[in-house]
Structure 1
């Protein structure tokens, strides 16, 4: 009898009680793109569309256990890493992931859309030293890139310089998101360690519903990687998905602050592939 499996993806991230970002956004994205989502929760946040008022860290040993339980049994084909806010968690996750040969997408979540900090300051250097070298691609936004590099980033040329600096951390490629630049056009810079870079351009969408955009993009990249797409194609498809999710959710009111994207504007059926 022929048996099948779904393309599985693991997210290692924090829980957003408001449902717009973090684990919740990741799992919605995986499902919307036809993948089977699994999770290792690093922290529980007290959060809604207006901001973050509390963070409760999950013990490092429990996070390691979650990763091992999923990887050894379900065997995800890609991993997304989001909020990792303490040095202990960075070390534990890095030690566990070194045992697997799976593409890793890292969204270095440091500041929420509301401006609330989501990472301890002493964690930033360790994140670059221990986790970035494991990444196929990292996806910082401008604020995160400025924290990571110490550089001022005000235009596309400075984005390219910052991406080049971030490659020195050992990651294989950088997708630097320029959504925080002001203007009618938005720019993202992709720079790989090997091969040609690219500047992506798109029209800005006027919307208050952008909470969880970074989580969603990195999760979408991981989902497409799990489906077998090369990195550049995975990024192209992921950017298109996020753009549509923002556009299709711009007229919806969820909460009183920054609302979520419309993750299920066009959900894909779960994919079945012959099990090897």
Structure 2
């Protein structure tokens, strides 16, 4: 039986903790086939965001056409969309699918990642058609504290760790994966919470980077290659 197909429309993260990389790893861990549209390329590490390069609009459209026309994803998950034009594009093209909107407006480091025009586009176009939105507390405030049963305000896990870079991306990707499997939102939300808690616990004692390290995207018991396999 084919796995459900899920699409992430998001930015890259050169540190590997968040963005498209985190989404695809989470999709794989939860048994769905991940596809992607890159909306922005970022230069970032565990201490902060150094640069953001929005992908040209026509290239974003071409990527989206390629996935929607051929693989027909059950669910779409959004991350950093970078421009108001891309926010509106997603609202227009993806409203007929399960749509999980993670409004990436502020990085874990505190860096502001969205302009006022992008925030307005979320409020006016994307949030009204979302199956569920998953802002953190700062993003919820920036969006004007939108109401409705389809808004889940996320928070960090209860695990004592500074390795939490990418928590929001991982949570929303997990939520999209569970919804793609046909689980209802009331059941999918705590499952996504539990998945994130497990991953935070798994990487809680890592020392990767000089700042807030990445959420673990390994499976609980990864198979490390033996010397014989490497040879």
Name the TM-score, length of structure 1 as normaliser. 0.77
Alpha-carbon distance, 1:224 to partner: 0.6
Query: Which whole-Å CA distance do the structure 1 matches of 2:212 and 2:176 have between them?
Result: 24
Conserved 8 A contact 1:18-1:48: yes
Conserved 8 A contact 2:18-2:167: yes
Which residue of the other structure, out of 49, 52, 57, is the alignment partner of 2:54?
Answer: 57
Find the counterpart in structure 2 of residue 241 from structure 1.
Answer: 195
Conserved 8 A contact 2:202-2:220: no
Structure 2 gaps, min length 5: 223-231
Structure 1 gaps, min length 5: 150-161, 180-185, 187-203, 269-276
**Superimposed CA distance per residue, residues 184-217 of structure 1 (whole angstroms, 9 cap, x where no aligned partner):** xx7xxxxxxxxxxxxxxxxx22111000000000
Match of 2:203, SS state, is coil
Question: Would you say 1:77 and 2:79 are equivalent positions?
Answer: no
Find the counterpart in structure 2 of residue 166 from structure 1.
Answer: 147
Match of 2:103, SS state, is coil
**Superimposed CA distance per residue, residues 120-178 of structure 1 (whole angstroms, 9 cap, x where no aligned partner):** 122111111111112110001111111111xxxxxxxxxxxx4xx433xxxx6111123
Find the counterpart in structure 2 of residue 158 from structure 1.
Answer: none
Question: Would you say 1:117 and 2:116 are equivalent positions?
Answer: no
Alpha-carbon distance, 1:267 to partner: 7.6
Which residue of the other structure, out of 182, 198, 211, is the alignment partner of 1:257?
Answer: 211
Conserved 8 A contact 1:32-1:266: no
Name the TM-score, length of structure 2 as normaliser. 0.91
Question: Would you say 1:5 and 2:29 are equivalent positions?
Answer: no
Question: Would you say 1:89 and 2:66 are equivalent positions?
Answer: no
Conserved 8 A contact 1:29-1:263: yes
Match of 1:176, SS state, is coil
**Superimposed CA distance per residue, residues 47-85 of structure 1 (whole angstroms, 9 cap, x where no aligned partner):** 111111101111122112211211121111111011112
Find the counterpart in structure 2 of residue 104 from structure 1.
Answer: 99
Superposed, 1:76-225 pairs within 5 Å as 76-98=73-95, 101-149=96-144, 162=145, 165-167=146-148, 173-179=150-156, 204-225=158-179
Distance 1:178 1:6, change over 3 A: closer
Report the more deviating stretch, 125-134 or 207-216: 125-134
Alpha-carbon distance, 1:16 to partner: 0.5
Query: Which whole-Å CA distance do the structure 1 matches of 2:117 and 2:221 have between them?
Result: 40
Shift >6 Å, 4+ stretches: none
* Structure with higher strand content: 1
Conserved 8 A contact 1:210-1:261: yes
RMSD: 1.6
Match of 2:51, SS state, is strand
